[in-house]
Amino acid sequence: MGCHFTKGLPALLLSSVVVCLIPSSVSAQSPLSKEELLISNDPVGHPGGHLVVSLRSEPKTLNPVTSIDISSREVIAQMTGDLIHINRFSENTEPALAKSWKVSRDGLEYTLKLRRGLRFSDGSPLDADDVLFSFHAYLDEKVNSPQRDLLLIGGKPITIQRMDADTLVFRLAQPYAAAERLFDSVAILPRRLLEQAYNDGKLSQTWGLDTSPQQIAGLGPFRLKEYVVGQYLTLERNPYYWKADREGRRLPYLDQITFIFVPNADAEVIRFQAGDTDMVNRLSAEDYAALEKEQTAHSFHVYDAGPSLEYNFLLLNLNSSLPAQSEIAKKQKWFRDVKFRQAISLAIDRDSMIRLIYRGRGTPLWTPVTPASSFWIDNAIPHPPRSIDQARKLLQQAGFSWSRNGELTDDTGSPVKFSILTSASNSQRVQMATIIQQDLKELGVSAQVVSLEFRSVADRIFRSHDYEAAVLGLAGGDTDPNSQMNVWLSTGNDHLWDIGEAHPATSWEAEIDRLMEKQLTTLKPQARKILFDRVQEIIAENLPIISLVSPNVLVGAKDQLGNFRPAALDPHTLWNSQELFFSVTVAARQR
């Protein structure tokens, strides 16, 4: 019957992927040249120490090819290396395993030079074949790696050619702006350990949590030491890591990192407060305020690392696929009127949201681009202040009127009522919806908050489109607009307000499509910025989604932790784990 529980696929050969393979046996035996370490410019720290951090849920796998959840990726990021890396602090790309790269004039060819003499965490050498193997694995359709779609440019996979032992050429089917950012987080795998599993079609089952440490190797600052089911996972220092500090001491400083698994945000904060963990990520404003009061008494500090990439918004259902006689389709008549959307946006009290929900640690938004994307944000976008009068005027112009008891009615005389869907697991968004509901009452609109559990919300929004309005949030992984293509293109998966459009439903959506496609193939950042500014203007004018607020990145860490520099990009705290260190006293005590 071919049950799906035995995932044993027939042995697959590499031939299914279009890549040029050059016999690799030569380089594997070639003598190792001198190690080309990357020298870090950051302050020098002390070696030693055991860092304990918490993960909001248990990691599911240690396999970089199949991992998808945040916890797994956070652990894997510590164990693996990528060719080109995005510096989470500066938000720019920087050399990693590739010491340099060149882009051809037409933007179609990337030539990467690998660092020489590097070793995986088990001591085996890295060469170009490992890189080739890794990209085959990610691009293989049968492996079903969630990373695969990232590496498809214009619908075609990137092709890779090995020029010599440390030179690789990546070819793109069409020009792609800032393509070097795609290399970030594509972990390079040890061919020696994984090739057999790959050939057997079992790559996706390898490197589960129960794998023994000898079976796993990577190029990250740490390597697997121990995993205890349900409790914690410990990584130890990778003695072969390819970065060193200014004094030539090989990084990382820390001996060990332990990730303890906590099931919810409260437990995470409590464990930090109890001193069990040394760091805490993604604090809510409430927790931040509470910890702030205690930071003098305990030896920790909380940090406000500034705006994040998360944007929360009110989504009105503009789906064009709904049957015309349905209840929602009748309401869409209002939603489709841009004046109605503008009136709603004007009525929302964003300042109260910031004050009450984020305790002032957030930014009001009028487009989905947050100040964290300092380069891309269009500062010319107007920020109209809340005005019920103005909102009423707009509604009047759009043909709405008010009944004697103050209810807003449309031109057919039916009252304006709709429900606002939100995920109950995110209390901040429920709070936003509650504030909006009260704000809209001032316009005579009666809105009802419906909070459901997350999957039910997702099912309504993505599959059945059975909702009227919703408060949602998205967080980009990168500041670059390319990471949000799927939201803005009318054919994109995450074109939330009208999912599954075949053609842009409005002229402004067509214009956004055109601009976004154009910026994708434009190579000059400044030229891209002009195009993307125009996109932001169109969004601010037409409000396909009504942007609300963005929280700041709030984190906490023990005082003794050196080089602690929280960043706006994920992972906010552990991105520079190789440089973190404990001041001497603690490191000595923990020994």
Residue 356 near residue 364 (C-beta atoms within 8 A): no
How far the first Cα of the chain sits from its last, in Å, is 57
> 149 or 247, CB closer to other proteins?
149
Q: How many residues bind other proteins (CB under 8 A)?
A: 100
> 466 or 511, CB closer to other proteins?
466
Q: Which helix (H) or strand (E) holds 34?
A: none
Q: Does 474 bind other proteins (CB under 8 A)?
A: yes
List, in sequence order, the alpha helices (H) in 208-349.
265-273, 285-294, 327-335, 338-347
The nearest distance, CB 130 to other proteins, in angstroms, is 23
Q: Does 112 bind other proteins (CB under 8 A)?
A: no
The nearest distance, CB 437 to other proteins, in angstroms, is 7
Q: Which residues pair with 226 in a beta bridge?
A: 234
The nearest distance, CB 131 to other proteins, in angstroms, is 21
Retrieve residue 218's tokens.
Answer: 């990577």
Residue 529 near residue 376 (C-beta atoms within 8 A): yes
The nearest distance, CB 95 to other proteins, in angstroms, is 23
Q: Does 352 bind other proteins (CB under 8 A)?
A: yes
Residues 490-529 that bind other proteins (CB under 8 A): 492-494
Q: Does 333 bind other proteins (CB under 8 A)?
A: no
> 104 or 493, CB closer to other proteins?
493
Phi/psi at 411 (nearest 5 deg)? -70, -20
Q: Does 60 bind other proteins (CB under 8 A)?
A: yes
Tell me which stretch binds other proteins (CB under 8 A): 163-171, 218-226, 254-262, 377-385.
254-262
At what angle are helices 128-139 and 191-199 packed, to 10 degrees?
A: 30
Strand 408-409, strand 401-402: pairing: antiparallel
Q: Which residues pair with 314 in a beta bridge?
A: 471, 546
What does the per-residue mask of binding to other proteins show for 377-396, with x meaning CB under 8 A? --------------------
Three-class secondary structure of residue 266 per DSSP:
helix
> 7 or 102, CB closer to other proteins?
7
The nearest distance, CB 522 to other proteins, in angstroms, is 20
- DSSP string for residues in 408-467: EE-TTS-B-EEEEEEETT-HHHHHHHHHHHHHHHTTT-EEEEEEE-HHHHHIIIIII---
List, in sequence order, the alpha helices (H) in 442-545.
454-458, 485-488, 507-521, 525-542
Query: How far is residue 558's CA from residue 537's CA, in Å, rounded to a whole number?
Result: 43
Q: Does 7 bind other proteins (CB under 8 A)?
A: yes
Nearest one of 481, 476, 478, 431 to 451, comparing CA atoms? 431
> 458 or 530, CB closer to other proteins?
458
Q: Does 8 bind other proteins (CB under 8 A)?
A: no
Query: How far is residue 101's CA from residue 226's CA, in Å, rounded to a whole number?
Result: 36
Given 170, 334, 467, 575, the residue binding other proteins (CB under 8 A): 467
How open is the CA angle 486-76-302, to the nearest 5 degrees? 85
Query: How far is residue 310's CA from residue 476's CA, in Å, rounded to a whole number?
Result: 7
Given 43, 146, 154, 239, the residue binding other proteins (CB under 8 A): 146
Q: Does 258 bind other proteins (CB under 8 A)?
A: yes
Tell me which stretch binds other proteins (CB under 8 A): 125-133, 159-167, 259-267, 579-587.
259-267
Residues 20-59 that bind other proteins (CB under 8 A): 50, 52, 57-58
Q: Does 173 bind other proteins (CB under 8 A)?
A: no
Given 90, 104, 144, 199, the residue binding other proteins (CB under 8 A): 144
- DSSP string for residues in 95-133: ESSEEEEEE-TTS-EEEEEEPTT-B-TTSPBP-HHHHHH
Q: Does 403 bind other proteins (CB under 8 A)?
A: no
The nearest distance, CB 3 to other proteins, in angstroms, is 4
Tell me which stretch binds other proteins (CB under 8 A): 81-89, 108-116, 128-136, 456-464.
456-464
Tell me which stretch binds other proteins (CB under 8 A): 2-10, 21-29, 156-164, 304-312.
2-10
Residues 409-448 that bind other proteins (CB under 8 A): 417, 419, 421, 423-425, 427, 430-431, 433-435, 437-438, 448
Three-class secondary structure of residue 9 per DSSP:
coil
Residue 100 near residue 113 (C-beta atoms within 8 A): yes
Residues 278-307 that bind other proteins (CB under 8 A): 286-287, 289-290
> 100 or 590, CB closer to other proteins?
590
Q: Does 456 bind other proteins (CB under 8 A)?
A: yes
Tell me which stretch binds other proteins (CB under 8 A): 256-264, 508-516, 551-559, 572-580.
256-264
Residues 179-208 that bind other proteins (CB under 8 A): 204-205, 208
| Residue with token string 């990357």 | 38
Given 108, 209, 381, 505, the residue binding other proteins (CB under 8 A): 209
